[in-house]
Amino acid sequence: MAKRNATEFLKTEYDALVAQSLDWRIKKLEGPSEAHAVVDGKKVLMLCSNNYLNLSNHPRLKEAAIKAIQTHGAGSGSVRAIAGTMNLHLQLEKKIASFKHAEAALYYQTGFAANAGLIPQLVGEGDVVISDELNHGSIIDGVRLSKAERAIYKHCDVGDLERVLKELDARPTPPRRIIVITDGVFSMDGDIAPLKDIVNAAEVHGAMVYVDDAHGDGVLGEGGRGIVNHFHLEGKVHVEMGTFSKAFGVVGGSIAGSKDLVAFALNKSRTWLLSGSAPPATAAACIAALEVLETEPQHFKKLWDNTNYFKKELQALGFDTGVSQTPITPVMVGESGKAKSLSEKLFEQGVFALPIVFPMVAKDKARIRTMVNAGLSREDLNFALNAFEKAGKELSII
């Protein structure tokens, strides 16, 4: 019988990450996620939250959550398919569909659950998923859970996508189904998928288009309606996946599209069928977040005013912000160790901005990923810029 240590690899592999400066060192948020927060006991300016519109602590969302607890309790008591579908969940889904200008919508516990639960049901043996090479890990895992063949196209390269589509249809036995999947906004670089061109290419080959708009919800489109609205593609994108965990300030995922899509998904997605439904407070806060976007446009405007100013000033200081087109603004550093050092120096000055290193990005593409939000004042942004300038010069980045 072979001798083996069942758990030795845990420490060995973790120690290897530490030695390469690739380990995560978690900091503790003490209080709400706001522009001015307390992290590990230190007052800091928040520049690494996905809370783009600063809604996590919005009075209307908190009031809605509290009221829902009073009327519906702390939890649902079941999965959605049995006894866990409350009127609040249905109200939320109706609100999502209206907001997205779609026929129907379905709410999941998280965006990851939406991708992991729906993608494997849309494709199987004899099918092909074509994925952008920089798609989010939840898409990658969703595709891996399927029995479909996988194909990759170069990042945002529609010409390469067209090549893959043509090669598939030229086979003696073409695929039964083809799905083209892309992020809407890419979370590490902040660039936007050329969705209109992707849709045009897919239509020629009868391929389904699935977009993960987690970082586009609340950020792109008319009043934050997302990338499908941004490119005026309502009805042409078959699956629009989104999240409430970022710009909307709460938690949860969703899909929007046709009534057929939603009927299919709620009967097939095991992450939806076999997980407890969202607590009443969460569903109510999500409804309130959408209502805030529809009635308080100042948050969306402030987000983009802040984004444009901060990006321009970082570039003026000499920092490389990559190809970002959104509030996700990377400060490219290169080495993982240097990125971590920059983050530490910023934290010492009262700016919380985390490093992103391998395997989340390529080994030579480490960066500080800044996330601008609507709660920051011009004074706040200048404070952060001064901190970046000082730390960047100390580390010979600029």
Token pair recorded at residue 248:
């909307």
User: Any idea what DSSP says for residue 79?
Assistant: B
Q: Is 187 a catalytic residue?
A: yes
Whether 215 sits among the annotated catalytic residues: the reply is yes
3-class DSSP state for residue 270?
Answer: helix
Q: What angle do CA 213, 214, 219 make, to 5 degrees?
A: 80
Question: How far apart (Å, rounded) are the C-alpha atoms in residues 12 and 68?
Answer: 47
How wide is the angle at C-alpha 166 spanned by C-alphas 161 and 171, nearest 5°?
130
Catalytic residue (choose from 56, 187, 245, 343): 187
The CA distance from 70 to 57, in Å, is: 19
Question: Exposed, middle or buried: residue 314 (CB in 10 Å: 0-12, 13-18, 19+)?
Answer: buried
| Bridge partners, 292 (sequence order) | none
Catalytic residue among 100, 205, 215, 340: 215
Using alpha carbons, select from 219, 265, 238, 332 the residue that is nearest to residue 108. 265
Cβ-based neighbour number of residue 194 at 10 Å = 16
Residue type, 191: D
Helix, strand and coil content of the chain, in percent to the nearest 5, comes to: 45, 15, 40
* Residue with tokens 């516990």, as numbered in its chain: 109
Handedness of CA 50, 56, 60, 63 (dihedral sign): positive
State yes or no: is 269 an active-site residue: no
Structural tokens at position 247: 């710009």
Catalytic residues: 187, 215, 246
